[in-house]
Chain A
Amino acid sequence: MPFDERLHQAIEYLAFKSANADAVRACASVEKIVSEQKKFQYFRQFFPEEWNKSRSSFFKRGYYHNYSERLNEFFSLVNEKMFPLLAGWDDPETEFEYFYIFSLNIDLCCEDIEYENLRVSYAAGLLFLFRDDEIWEYFESNYQIKREDFPEINESAHDNLWHLEKTGKVEAYLNLFELVDHSTGNPWLDTVNCRDNACFDWTEDNIRFLAESYREAAALLDQTAGIDELFAENPRAVLLDLISLWNDVKLP
């Protein structure tokens, strides 16, 4: 072990040794070691090549001060290759024993929404769930389409809407409704940042679940982006599709 690494290990040990006569503090020390060791195991399990190549220290503190350079490296790998663990957490004092994820969806609860800044498909979805005259004004000024040219949108969706088979265009439209309604079943899309934040701890199941659900969320967002292209070609037809599906569970 290089001198630098031994030095950091010795400093770590001395800080521990000066406090270890106290059983409560000893529990905290063991808990910290166990927690670190678990993450090392996940590092080895999920990123074996990077683990073998890594030269980062096990003792020296990294950017996130509560963790060694090696664990900082693990967090970065998770962030780059699995899911955005570090997004929104710039404070070096941040702890990741339990961690929150930030939604990829729009926060309809607390965010100030500028319709011009939304994807057009999302703004169209909001017509159904976030009834605001300004959305029609936005469509009128940007796409020259008027509310009067379309059937009235029912207060609530047709009972069978959520039971439709998800295929083709219907799938994309249903996903859009669910996305705007925050009812996709995916934590990356349904979470609202100001409340009911999804909190996770480090287990293999959680890591796999978050990575998989993040991939699914990204795919769903890509799919709804496809509606933007349809909208650019023929905005009137897409809005009619959406209204018809919402009111009568069929495409015109």
Chain B
Amino acid sequence: MLCEAGEQINPAIVLAEELMRKDLRGTMDFADIERAENTLIAARTEIERVERQLNQIIKTQPQPGRLIPPGF
């Protein structure tokens, strides 16, 4: 599951960095605000997905592997 997961930085981190570097003295209009709110929804969805996956991993019973990696 982890190997198949897409690699990306959570969009909120990217957006927060971008916004904090901008001169934001009242320059965002309502369209920008709406885009940011949509990004927030996507970011929260990703956080929930990761938390769900983590819970599933924790719940999964340990299984004996078919191969023993060298060194063990």
Contacts and interface: CB of A to CB of B under 8 A. Distances in A.
Nearest to B41: A27
Interface string B29-62: 1101100110110011011000000000000000
Contacts of B19: 29-30, 33
Contacts of A41: 26, 28-30, 33
A200 interface: no
B25 interface: yes
A30 B17 CA distance: 9
A43 interface: yes
Nearest to B35: A34
Residue among A24, A37, A58, A70 having the largest count of chain B Cβ atoms under 10 Å:
A37
Contacts of B36: 30, 33-34, 37
Contacts of B44: 27
Nearest to B50: A23
Contacts of B25: 40, 58
A26 to B, nearest CB: 4
B68 to A, nearest CB: 35
Dominant secondary structure at the A interface = helix
Interface in A1-24: 1, 12-13, 16-17, 20-21, 23-24
The prevalent SS among residues of B at the interface is: helix
B14 to A, nearest CB: 8
A23 B26 contact: no
Interface residues of A, number: 25
Contacts of B40: 27, 30-31, 34
Nearest to A27: B12
Q: Which of B21, B25, B29, B36 has the most CB of A within 10 A?
A: B25
A17 B28 CA distance: 21
Nearest to A45: B30
A89 B53 CA distance: 43
A26 B33 contact: no
Nearest to B37: A34
B2 interface: no
B37 A20 contact: no
Contact of A26 (B28, B32, B37, B43): B43
